[in-house]
Chain A
Amino acid sequence: MNIILGVIGSDCHSVGNKILEAFFSENGFHVINLGVMVSQDEFIDAAIESDAKAILVSSLYGHGEIDCEGLRQKCIERGLEDIILYAGGNLVVGKSPLEAVERKFKALGFDRVFGPNVDLHEAADMLRADIAAKEAHA
């Protein structure tokens, strides 16, 4: 099961990215890790070529909202109508409650939104369930 992983925008935080890669690989996913400073088009190119089921976008530096804006539309424009989009990390500057961040990113078209303290096993379970639901639907 191919999934795309990367840190969006001009963000160079690489430690969490490596942890996510190792975790999802150990949990049965084929992770295509694009590393840090990944543009929207790089995420989409990789997802098209690999027929990935989901794009997992990380952002740690506070500019996540601006970097993620338009990603969903661009996916649709480029033929990825059914791709699952997750966002996680320190998505906005300051101490907004997770619910507010979640509302914001769901409005941008993300299917699920995670804060910095997410339980990765739970996230992996959700991802498996979301992918299964898409496949049943297709």
Chain B
Amino acid sequence: MPETAVLSIDIGSTYTKGGLFFVEDGRLRPGRRASFPTTTDDLRRGFAAVRAALAADEKASGAPVYFSSSARGGLKIAAIGLTPDLTLSIARMAACSAGGKIVRAFSYRLTEEEIAELETLAPDIVLFTGGTDGGSEKTNLHNARLLAASRLNAVILYAGNRKIRSEVLSLLADKEAVAADNIMPDVGVVAIEPARDVIRRIFLEKIVDGKGLADVVREVGTLPKPTPLAVYDLVGAIPAACPGWDDFAVIDMGGATTDFYSYTESFRGGDAVLLKGIREPVLKRTVEGDLGLRVSVEALWTSEKPWFEERLRIDGLDADGFAAYIRSVASRIEAMPATPIEESYDALLAGACVRAAARRHAGTSTRIYSPQGAFRVQKGKDLTRVGRLIGSGGYLSRLRDGRVLAQACADAVDTEERLLLPEKPLLYADAGYLFPLLGNLVAAFPEAAPRAAVAQLLKLESTR
């Protein structure tokens, strides 16, 4: 019998959300939805509640279940590289694109103090890189010895100079250590896929270990994905399935973090433009642990204060009231705005997250005057061709106009040094908040899942 429906469930840090999808003529049609507070002590209960609510539809009986989990706030990764601008920056990219969260990054030779810090942070994975293949050896061997002597319980993933891989692994023999191909085999060459795959596998082993998730896996017969990876895979599948979707970005904002995904060629080239540093990948994810509407709101207020003060003045809002609102929601993840004023405060906070996340994701272009004429030097990723920008997550998926998302866009001025932000993209809301759920279905429905995601987008008026 051909399958007629599938279930997709996302175990988030606050809510477990699910959706039923009907499979019709190779398309996915969204059906019933359900959500339940995540039962962090035993994830099975929340999962079962959502599954039961979805299965109340008789067509859902026997439907396969796909699921993702961001429980425990995602996978904690500490990144080690040799130089900050080369291997360490690539290690960050690899960790983010595998759905991880970087808790700390180290370069050069580790010190005893840094090892102590690592032990305190207790990451799930230490992504240990450095050196080109056949390149630097001494620093890695030094770092391997310190890691070996530490009290760390993390999985150590070695993805540095391949020539000394077996030496590094034998130094780490008493640790849980694995290896992947070098993330930078030659200077400036980015090769993050092998390390990414291993991080995914480690995620499964780690996350399935505890909190009842192993039982969920046994029950449904499929393995979970990290939630950010589900969105990452969906973003990566859209261009092939949806004509015209070649350059776009997705901002997924939650209570604690803001994720920015871009799909666009990193460097456009041209006669008088030069790329410096690493050429970033076409599909890139960054995650900002200090940008969020609730948990990280006080850090946000501090880091973006001048912008907030200007906006409060322009919008005619009371700064003291805003500060009080920030204090009151910081400790309450579920807090919802109660008045129109509080709604405008939330819009301001959301705008600040969107703005900062976009600015950190985007590269820069600087004008340089040389004896051979004026040039532009680009560093990082060019987002100027991003023609569509999608807001996802609890808050952004409910947007009804484009003002908040427009904060991700460039101011229309050509300056000596400018950020390579999207210029005038069309703005959309993930109106059904379906991105994580459809991300779980990408492997099973490589064309239908991205098409269903794009079909339900709500186009927003892009007034600023």
Q: How far is the CA of A37 from the CA of B376 in the complex (A)?
A: 11
Chain B, residue nearest A46 (CB): B187
Contact residue among A11, A32, A39 (Cβ-Cβ distance under 8 Å from B186): A32
Chain A residues with CB below 8 A from B83, complex form: 45, 48-49
Find out whether the CB atom of B370 lies under 8 angstroms from the CB atom of A11: yes
Write the A1-19 contact mask toward B (1 if CB under 8 angstroms, else 0): 0101000001111000000
Find out whether the CB atom of B134 lies under 8 angstroms from the CB atom of A2: yes
Q: How far is the CA of A49 from the CA of B107 in the complex (A)?
A: 11
Q: How far is the CA of A61 from the CA of B130 in the complex (A)?
A: 34
Given A11-B370, A37-B368, CB of A49 within 8 Å of CB of B274: no
Chain B residues with CB below 8 A from A12, complex form: 274, 370, 372, 375
Find out whether the CB atom of B274 lies under 8 angstroms from the CB atom of A42: no
* Residues 52-73 of A contacting B (Cβ, < 8 Å): 52, 61-63
Find out whether the CB atom of B132 lies under 8 angstroms from the CB atom of A49: yes
Chain A, residue nearest B135 (CB): A50
B82 at the interface (CB under 8 A from A): yes
Chain B residues with CB below 8 A from A35, complex form: 274
Find out whether the CB atom of A49 lies under 8 angstroms from the CB atom of B276: no
Find out whether the CB atom of A45 lies under 8 angstroms from the CB atom of B135: no
Chain B residues with CB below 8 A from A62, complex form: 371
Interface residue range, chain A = 20 to 34
Q: How far is the CB of B392 from chain A (nearest CB, A)?
A: 36
Chain A, residue nearest B272 (CB): A12
13 A-B pairs besides A4-B187, A12-B372, A37-B276 with CB distance below 8 A are A2-B132, A12-B375, A32-B132, A32-B186, A34-B187, A36-B274, A41-B85, A45-B86, A48-B82, A49-B83, A49-B87, A49-B184, A50-B135
> Could you give 17 example pairs across A and B, Cβ below 8 Å?
A2-B135, A10-B370, A10-B371, A11-B370, A12-B274, A37-B370, A39-B276, A46-B188, A48-B82, A48-B136, A49-B87, A49-B132, A49-B135, A49-B136, A51-B131, A51-B134, A51-B135
Q: List the interface of chain B (C-beta within 8 A of A).
A: 82-83, 85-87, 108, 130-132, 134-137, 184, 186-188, 274, 276-277, 368-372, 375, 377
